[in-house]
Structure 1
Amino acid sequence: MSAPLALRDVHNTLAPSWWPLAPGWWMVIGALALIALALYALRRWRERRRRRMNEVFDRALADAATPAAEVAAMSELLRRAARRRDRDADRLQGDQWLEFLDRGSKRRDFADGVGRLLLDGGYRREVDPEQASALRELARQRFLRWMGVS
């Protein structure tokens, strides 16, 4: 018979190192990087669009010489933006137009507030500059919201 074999202890292998990463982890990291890049690009695009729409609004009002002309310019901008909501919205008149402007808002700033200036403010000889200023902020918010940047 042959000599008995000498038994040795079991040697554990070393634990796998965390570096270099397995291919699956590289794919996860790449996907996360692409998502982060897409989110960053979307945010920048929205900021640029918001800034551009603010410039459109400001430029239209800068061309107006009087508060009455500013009201007329705001009315035109709102009617153009309203077509994004409803293609026939620019044809609304009077209180129907103001109700449309207030739609989706908890407050009735157009129908019962300073927004009533839109009905005849563009045709008046004199418009109070303070009323025009208050309407400007209200119209800007609605314009930006309808243009999809607010």
Structure 2
Amino acid sequence: MNEEWKGLSLAELIDLLEPAPEPAPISMAPQTLGWVWLGLFALALLSVLVWHLLKRWRRNAYRRAALGELTRSAPDASSLALLVRRTALAAYPRAAVASLFGDAWLTFLDKTYGGSGFSDGPGKALATAPYQDETSGEPLRLLVKEWIKKHRRELPDA
């Protein structure tokens, strides 16, 4: 034992100790190339997902506009018929939609959303609404709302 340490108490000896050196900070960077590749893959996957969601959101802009107009439109059958026609023209090629009228128009509407509410239900009023002054009820408004939300953009088989 060193001469200068003789006669010191344990507490005084402990005070003479040098503190242990602190370890180097741990890096948050990936240490192996596999983690870098995994991170890049996850970033690419997230980018593709965001791109697809944005594309889908833009593709359905006409639906959001039509639903907004439906809430602001008058409850008569002629304005609902015009709204459905304009929505169909936005969703489908003009050549496939513009020439349809009467029963062919109602059949087209039924095929595109998978129901029969236009040919057999309150949607019949849409075929004659532009030519007559008809009042529509809430069932027609709900049917139009359902069609706007659920119609498929693929053309039905003829």
Q: Return the TM-score normalized by structure 1.
A: 0.62
Can you list the C-alpha shifts for 1:5-29, whole angstroms capped at 9, x where unaligned? Answer: xxxxxxxxxxxxxx6112x542332
Residues 59 and 28 of structure 1, relative CA distance in 2, 3 Å threshold: closer
Q: Which amino acid aligns with 2:77?
A: A
Aligned partner of 2:149 among 138, 141, 149: 141
TM-score between the two structures when normalised by the length of structure 2: 0.60
Q: Which moved more, 1:58-67 or 1:103-112?
A: 58-67
Letter aligned with residue 140 of structure 1: I
Aligned to 2:117: 109
Percent identity, please. Answer: 24
Measure how far apart 1:79 and its partner are.
4.0
Q: Does 1:46 align with 2:45?
A: no
Change (3 A) 1:60 1:123: farther
Q: Give the aligned residue type for 1:68.
A: A
- The answer to whether the 8 Å contact 2:110/2:116 transfers is yes
Structure 1 residue aligned with 2:96, among 73, 78, 88?
88
CA distance in 2, matches of 1:98, 1:69: 15
1:105, distance to aligned residue in structure 2 (A): 4.7
CA-based RMSD: 3.1
Tell me by how many angstroms 1:38 deviates. 1.7
Higher relative contact order (CA 8 A, sep 6+): 1
Alignment of 1:1-150 (within 5 A): 20-22=31-33, 24-50=34-60, 52-58=61-67, 60-61=69-70, 64-65=73-74, 67-81=76-90, 83-84=92-93, 87-103=95-111, 105-142=113-150, 145-146=152-153
Task: Give the Cα separation in 1 of the matches to 2:139 and 2:70.
Answer: 15
Alpha-carbon spacing, 1:42–1:111, altered in 2? closer, same or farther (3 Å) = same
